[in-house]
Amino acid sequence: MLYRKVKKTGEELSILGFGCMRLPQKRGRIDEKRATRQVRSAIDQGVNYIDTAMMYHMGSSEPFLGRALADGYRERINLATKLPPGMVDARADMDRLLSAQLDMLRTDRIDYYLLHGIDGKSWNKMRRLGAPEFLDKAKADGRIRFAGFSFHGDIDAFKEIVDAYDWEICLIQYNYLDEHNQAGTAGLTYAAGKGMGVIIMEPLRGGNLSRRVPTAVQAIWDEADVKRSPAEWALRWVWNHPEVTVVLSGMNRDDHIEENLRIADEAHPESLSDEELEIVNKAVETYRGLMKAGCTGCRYCVPCPAGVDIPMCFDIYNGAHVFGDKIVASVLYPLRLGGIGDSGKAAYASLCEHCGTCEEVCPQHLPIQALLEDVAKDFEGWGTKAVARLVNLFLGVSRWRAFRRARQVEKQKSFFSRS
Ligand code: SF4
Ligand code: SF4
């Protein structure tokens, strides 16, 4: 296992982290025996960064991890979990949730505590409610060691958040197709330039870069002199960036874990040759050629006066057509664009008012208005609102279950402190 240093803290973290969002399941629940074996085996092979969150597995991931890290495993790793902004209405909620998380994880400190999935809007809410003071206090009294945030907004919001607090780490989506999406390469170098550790999620774009490889892309990997699986090409490309600290992989198959551990023994920064980088570039170009909208995610076209999130519309639209995952895309569309949860107003393609300003600035000269009509045809049928309602319901149930767990823990604590 290779390790990289977080400049700001001097801590050495394993370049492969274990994400506990997609643990193996059995009959709809975490397969505890198998998942425990996997987590412990990864730690035995050098992984020292384990990531979870209150919302994962509908509130079951943290209690599972608390049990899995018994027998001395907790002391061997850096434990990361997250504060869910959707469950915070007041400053006191932050202390209450952290207290419950410490209990569920059976520990007296969280090493890396992140605000979960924030963008510009939810950060403003958390800042107004006192998140900076809460994090300072939790660090001072030892409940957390370091603070960070996970992010799903645009680059401007990312830089604003990085500059707004003395963070030690951030967690961003990054892979060879998302160089210009969300925080992207610009965000990666910005945060690393401030000495922050940068943890990467979705290095395989939710598995799409390894599971459903189009024939034309597979041919590029097959022609390369060096033989690697599509997953290995994608992981090595991310680790090739010296600014990357840890790559999180939601690993739930034994063979995937073994493959990732093997690559993490060898993936030094800047170790890919120019020829190898050219091969990845070819794959990127081929993917882009297969995409229906040749959008690079540069975001020159936003904000749109009608509120359409143009690059996000195209990202989901392309994902559905390149990877053939229409069902996932139909859920993602209302989830990302329907104004669900903290994200605020809807940003659907059909909101376009045809002012034409986006087409004037698009460096790819895309017929944005016509493409948005196609997006709306694909995703805004009779089922869109129903899916949005279902997603809202699912989020509500997840929050409720996590909230109920937190309350149970609180009640047990107050019972034991009285007796
Ligand atoms: S043409 Fe439509 S999508 Fe483009 S900026 Fe105007 S309203 Fe927004
Ligand atoms: S300006 Fe064009 S390429 Fe850039 S994000 Fe907008 S649609 Fe995509």
| Between residues 243 and 333, the one the model is more confident about | 243
Supply the DSSP symbol for 7.
Answer: T
Query: What's the whole-number mean pLDDT along residues 5-16?
Result: 97
Would the pLDDT of 254 be above 70? yes
Q: What percent of the chain has pLDDT over 70?
A: 89
| Ligand 2 pocket: which of 177, 318, 362 to mutate (most atoms within 8 A of CB) | 362
DSSP H or E run through 151:
strand 144-151
Q: Tell me, what amino acid is at 418?
A: R
- Regarding beta strands 246-249 and 169-173, do their DSSP bridges make them parallel or antiparallel, or are they unpaired? unpaired
Which residue's CA is the closest to the ligand 2 atom numbered 1? 362
Ligand 2: centre distance to CA 215 (Å): 27
- Of all ligands present, the nearest one to the C-alpha of 288 is 2
Supply the DSSP symbol for 176.
Answer: T
Would the pLDDT of 300 be above 80? no
What pLDDT score was predicted for residue 292?
Answer: 87
Query: What's the whole-number mean pLDDT along residues 364-376?
Result: 93
pLDDT in tens, 131-188: 999 999 999 999 999 999 999 888 999 999 999 999 999 999 999 998 988 889 999 9
Measured from the CB, is residue 271 less than 6 Å from ligand 1? no
What pLDDT score was predicted for residue 63?
Answer: 96
Ligand 1: centre distance to CA 55 (Å): 35
- Of all ligands present, the nearest one to the C-alpha of 309 is 1
| Ligand 2 pocket: which of 316, 357, 368 to mutate (most atoms within 8 A of CB) | 368
What pLDDT score was predicted for residue 116?
Answer: 94
Q: Please report which residue ranges of 224-292 form alpha helices under DSSP H.
A: 230-239, 254-264, 274-290
Label residue 189 by pLDDT band (50, 70, 90).
very high
Ligand 1: centre distance to CA 357 (Å): 6
Ligand 2: centre distance to CA 366 (Å): 7
CA 132, chain centre distance (Å): 22
Provide the token pair at 190.
């910005």
pLDDT in tens, 218-233: 999 999 999 999 999 9
Which residue's CA is the closest to the ligand 2 atom numbered 8? 295
Among 4-8, 357-361, 384-388, the range scoring the smallest mean pLDDT is 384-388
| Between residues 398 and 309, the one the model is more confident about | 309
Query: What's the whole-number mean pLDDT along residues 240-256?
Result: 91
| Ligand 2 pocket: which of 361, 364, 371 to mutate (most atoms within 8 A of CB) | 364
Confirm if 113 and 83 have CB atoms less than 8 A apart: yes
| Between residues 341 and 145, the one the model is more confident about | 145
Label residue 416 by pLDDT band (50, 70, 90).
very low
Measured from the CB, is residue 312 less than 6 Å from ligand 1? no
- Of all ligands present, the nearest one to the C-alpha of 291 is 2
**In the structure, which protein residues have their CB atom closer than 6 angstroms to any atom of ligand 2?**
295-301, 310-311, 314, 362, 364, 366, 368
pTM score: 0.80
Ligand 2: centre distance to CA 181 (Å): 11
Beta strands, E only, 236-349: 246-249
What pLDDT score was predicted for residue 401?
Answer: 66
Residue 372 CA: nearest ligand 1 atom is: 3
What pLDDT score was predicted for residue 419?
Answer: 43
Ligand 2: centre distance to CA 207 (Å): 25
Would the pLDDT of 86 be above 70? yes
Which residue's CA is the closest to the ligand 2 atom numbered 6? 301
Half-sphere exposure of 379 (CA within 13 A, CB side): 36
Residue 366 CA: nearest ligand 2 atom is: 2
Measured from the CB, is residue 368 less than 6 Å from ligand 1? yes
Ligand 1: centre distance to CA 314 (Å): 13
As to burial, measured by CB atoms within 10 angstroms (0-12 exposed, 13-18 middle, 19+ buried), residue 114 is buried
Residue 307 CA: nearest ligand 1 atom is: 8
CA nearest to 279, candidates 226, 316, 328: 226
